Chains A and B, each alone.
Chain A
């Protein structure tokens, strides 16, 4: 009894807790709803994963696919990927390697660390982007970009709607099937024999070689192609060919 009490006293309070887990790992082990996150815990999502964790007292962090980060109390350190942070009563600091983002309380923002650069898009509230240049304040409906080392002085501009839509759709896609109806339909589709010569596609295999068509069967590739989430949503994919039309009018002024 005493040993248990001493252990409880010695244990540091958790830095966060997993609220939603689809393809989420914590310190290398699969995570599920309720998994506690120790200070410095490594949280990551698979290529089709999605997760929501609570950090600190009331901050929510939603992780897109292929995101890696470490979690501390009111602090995130993103190795790669994209997160949607909704800070609560306290500010949230996000380390991005060459730069740091400080989100004020009651701020909703998307922070991304990609091979091509760093992004902070603020929807509500305010964030400060601290790169190698002067700190840049990013307000509501503004977006700041910098290169991956935080150089080239993050420039603030209006916009970021596409990034915002993307995370909202990711959230809907991951969280919206509350009644598991979509899962049921997909499961039925996967287990149905499509053609007389086609084999039944096992849902487990669909996460592996079958994604790339390695099962060697055309029908399998077609099914996977139809079911696999696209990298962009249809209304975000630029059409082939021109996406702008530039008109010039002349003035003598």
Chain B
């Protein structure tokens, strides 16, 4: 390689060509890179105006491109390993991107691209009936600087693939919501898959309702005693598009309760009118799980559920039990329930310590963070928002939670395998 560079320098010295045209640093191309493809896209016309592919170890190219228009320069360095067909057939290893306007002039303009480790995001887009037939998706990286990547997709849309630097991405669309658009993860030299549902931005003032235990937003457990049933006071709220609480005077709310095992509910709340509402009348006893469903039957029509683990408080922590509030909603985001139990399966007594989720698969998106300090006064069931909007094709993704106590010696770990993500063109 050095000999080649020396020959190039000597050849340059013998000609009148400017020395800046010689490409130095050829040996910097990583070993696994087989070729480097360049694309130049006219941003305003959304058109590829120039492209070229060079074989490693070359890593530069000279191109003729339009002047005075915004251009998106992209480079993809590929390995010789097989990759997704839609991403070119070979697995990309690095990707680079920069936006420039080339001035009108005689001088040749150098464009420097910094290629970062990359992977492929393959996705299908599902449009709701009332969505536009085509939308422009904006793919923005958490750590990527510069303008988001924009891709126009149509309904019915087939599978698409984009090469992206590794990291976490958010997909949005103007005047629409992308339900699985948060926390998409692209892994190094791997294909990640995702199903993106596109719906128009809701125009109704009220978007949904929530049901919670009064005074405890994050409580999903109720401590029971053997002497008398435990009364639970609920609050029902309606919220708008911005997740802000709104008043709905005429809303009619009734309740449905399920109990596992049967008989945990000793008293049911009656119907109420108007939101927000504070509801009394629910009483539980024993040990098990109760699902409270609030049904709003009039203006707006909506339902909300609250799953409660009920039981007595027992001894020291012995093991963790992980579950999802709504497994079917994992691509759009749901809540991870982390129950700390004693050796008899009862709720463990609260202890200070730390909960750590960093051992989870990187495809698991935890917007609340991966660590939680416990002061010792938390509810028996801990909650963390969890989303798995993307995943490797055909590979299961796991959540790993580890509890370390500062007062009770021991470390407890539990693993939850999330439902397999599959995409198919409908």
A binding-site residues for B, Cβ under 8 Å: 145, 152, 155, 157-159, 161-163, 232, 234-239, 241-253
Beta-carbon contact of B101 and A159 below 8 Å: yes
* Contact partners of B67 in chain A: CB under 8 A: 162, 238, 243
Is B117 an interface residue when CB atoms closer than 8 A count as contact? yes
Is B110 an interface residue when CB atoms closer than 8 A count as contact? yes
Q: In the complex the two chains form, what is the Cα distance from A185 to B193 in whole Å? A: 72
Nearest residue, chain B, Cβ from A235: B106
* Contact partners of B114 in chain A: CB under 8 A: 248-251
Q: In the complex the two chains form, what is the Cα distance from A246 to B111 in whole Å? A: 5
Given contacts A250-B94, A253-B116, is CB(A236)–CB(B105) below 8 Å?
A: yes
Nearest residue, chain B, Cβ from A152: B44
CB distance from A115 to the nearest CB of B (A): 15
Nearest residue, chain B, Cβ from A238: B67
Beta-carbon contact of B108 and A239 below 8 Å: yes
Contact of A250 among B61, B73, B115 (CB under 8 A): B115
Q: In the complex the two chains form, what is the Cα distance from A158 to B116 in whole Å? A: 27
Contact of A239 among B103, B106, B110, B111 (CB under 8 A): B106
Contact of A242 among B36, B63, B96, B105 (CB under 8 A): B63
* Contact partners of B73 in chain A: CB under 8 A: 246
* Contact partners of A158 in chain B: CB under 8 A: 101
Beta-carbon contact of A244 and B115 below 8 Å: no
* Contact partners of A253 in chain B: CB under 8 A: 116
Q: In the complex the two chains form, what is the Cα distance from A246 to B30 in whole Å? A: 18
Contact of A247 among B94, B112, B116 (CB under 8 A): B112
Candidate in A232, A236, A239, A245 with the most chain B CB atoms within 10 angstroms: A245
Is B34 an interface residue when CB atoms closer than 8 A count as contact? no
Q: B81-125: which have CB < 8 Å to A?
A: 94, 96, 101-106, 108-117
Q: How many A-B residue pairs have CB under 8 A?
A: 111
Q: In the complex the two chains form, what is the Cα distance from A163 to B183 in whole Å? A: 43
Q: What are 8 contact pairs spanning A and B, CB under 8 A?
A: A145-B69, A157-B70, A243-B109, A245-B61, A245-B62, A246-B60, A246-B62, A250-B115
Contact of B44 among A145, A239, A245 (CB under 8 A): A145
Beta-carbon contact of B111 and A247 below 8 Å: yes
Q: In the complex the two chains form, what is the Cα distance from A244 to B111 in whole Å? A: 7
Q: In the complex the two chains form, what is the Cα distance from A161 to B114 in whole Å? A: 27
Nearest residue, chain A, Cβ from B65: A244
* Contact partners of A234 in chain B: CB under 8 A: 106
Beta-carbon contact of A155 and B44 below 8 Å: yes
* Contact partners of B65 in chain A: CB under 8 A: 243-244
CB distance from B279 to the nearest CB of A (A): 45
Beta-carbon contact of B103 and A246 below 8 Å: no
Beta-carbon contact of A249 and B108 below 8 Å: no
Contact of B108 among A232, A235, A244, A248 (CB under 8 A): A244
Is B23 an interface residue when CB atoms closer than 8 A count as contact? yes
Candidate in A241, A244, A246, A251 with the most chain B CB atoms within 10 angstroms: A246
* Contact partners of B38 in chain A: CB under 8 A: 246
* Contact partners of B102 in chain A: CB under 8 A: 243-244
Beta-carbon contact of B115 and A242 below 8 Å: no
Contact of A249 among B59, B61, B62, B101 (CB under 8 A): B59
Using an 8 Å CB-CB cutoff, how does the interface string of B1-44 with A read, 1 for contact, 0 for none? 00000000000000000000101010011100100101000001
Beta-carbon contact of A247 and B59 below 8 Å: yes
Beta-carbon contact of B101 and A238 below 8 Å: no
Contact of B63 among A155, A162, A244 (CB under 8 A): A244
Given contacts A157-B70, A157-B101, is CB(A247)–CB(B109) below 8 Å?
A: no
Given contacts A243-B65, A248-B60, A248-B77, is CB(A159)–CB(B108) below 8 Å?
A: no
Nearest residue, chain A, Cβ from B54: A248
Given contacts A162-B103, A235-B105, A238-B67, is CB(A247)–CB(B30) below 8 Å?
A: no
